[in-house]
Amino acid sequence: MYLLPGGPRRAAMGRAPSGAGRIYWAKPIRPRFRSRATKQSRDKARAGRPAGPRGRAPERLRLDDQLELRPAGLADPMGSVLDLHCHLLAAVDDGPADPASGLALVTELRRQGVESAVTTPHLLSPRFAADGLEAMIADAWLRLQEQAATVGLRVFLGSENHCSGQLDPEAFAQAARPLGDGPCVLVELPDDHLPGRAWASCFAVVRRGRRPVLAHPERCRGLRGDDDGLAAFITSGGLLQITAGHVAGMHGWAMRWRSRRLLARFPHACVLASDAHDLCARRPAWDKLPAKFHRWICPDLTSLTTWRGGDDALVP
Ligand SMILES: [Fe+2]
């Protein structure tokens, strides 16, 4: 530090905060460019110090963390994949509009690495008429089996059983159709509230020796802040089906955060599915799923019966 003005060595004046004619302490001129030898010696001196702003440079983020949304399926094979919640029946409720769209959807699922899928048309839902539903499902199911065979996809028939709370819990448990021939039952709750008899209906399913699987709980506003209810449901053997597209962020940041929060909060009770309806807004997103979430992919329907989620707890 040198005193201005004048002095035995050349100095540059520092920034004057205000006024004129005052004397300020100023920084000496430093060379703008450093030689390579100087930089190397500085790095060598810093190497032994702890990481920090004045010491060794902190480690950079791994590429996996920076590029989380890379197509995981290309670099990290997912192994066997069961899609336990998707809508593949053409011209039934809000699934594919026609057989050609249905074929395109099963082809896309197979391309993304899905080996077996349970098609889950809506059941007991007030949004879709129940008249003639079973006949439509039977027709579409036959067609789907033929289409799936052409692309090498194993398909099972299940349903997404809507729990509005209007049915008696025992009647709901009796009417609900399981996933394939297994004991698991997919239960859908309304998006905007938690029906008064929702948990009673789920426990009625448990009492019948079946395992309830809550469809996309991250969408249900009534479940937000009800961690105690979810914990009781899980303790009784229930599972949470998280939608892969939500985890990948394809439906907004809020849904991405809610789905990942459930994975972190209940890692041993979560399982992923696509809830695919078409190839547009609700397309399957297995190819967008980051590799660190592969542990929540169930390989087959048999494993779902005793599914315990990922190997270890993980906070995404
Ligand atoms: Fe669904």
Instruction: Tell me how far the alpha carbon of residue 126 lies from the centroid of ligand 1, in angstroms.
Output: 14
Q: How far does the centroid of ligand 1 lie from the alpha carbon of residue 263, in Å? A: 19
What does residue 51 show for φ and ψ, rounded to 5 degrees?
Answer: -65, 140
Q: In angstroms, rounded to a whole number, what is the distance separating the alpha carbons of residues 167 and 200? A: 11
237 alpha carbon – ligand 1 mean position (Å): 21
Paired with 212 in beta bridges are 185
- The architecture (CATH level 2) of 74-305 comes to Alpha-Beta Barrel (3.20)
Specify the pTM: 0.75
Pairing outcome for strands 160-162 and 154-157: unpaired
Per-residue pLDDT of the chain (316 residues; tens, 9 = 90+): 445 554 555 444 455 555 555 666 666 666 665 555 566 666 666 666 655 555 555 444 343 443 444 444 444 567 799 999 999 999 998 999 999 999 999 999 999 999 999 999 999 998 888 788 899 999 999 999 999 999 999 999 999 999 999 999 999 999 999 999 999 999 999 999 999 999 999 999 999 999 999 999 999 999 998 999 999 999 999 999 999 999 999 999 999 999 999 999 999 999 999 999 999 889 999 999 999 999 999 999 999 999 987 654 444 4
How far from 308 is each of 186, 250, 312, CA to CA, in Å?
17, 26, 10
CA 85–ligand 1 middle distance (angstroms): 6
Q: How far is the centre of ligand 1, averaged over its atoms, from the C-alpha of 244 (Å)?
A: 12
Please tell me the distance between residue 119's alpha carbon and the centre of ligand 1 in angstroms: 9
45 CA distance to ligand 1 middle (Å)? 60
How far does residue 313's CA lie from ligand 1's centre (Å)?
27
- Region(s) of the chain under CATH 3.20.20.140: 74-305
Amino acid at 54: R
Q: Structure tokens of 76? A: 């990290």
- CA 160 / ligand 1 centre spacing (Å): 6
State the distance from the centre of ligand 1 to the C-alpha of 191, rounded, in angstroms.
12
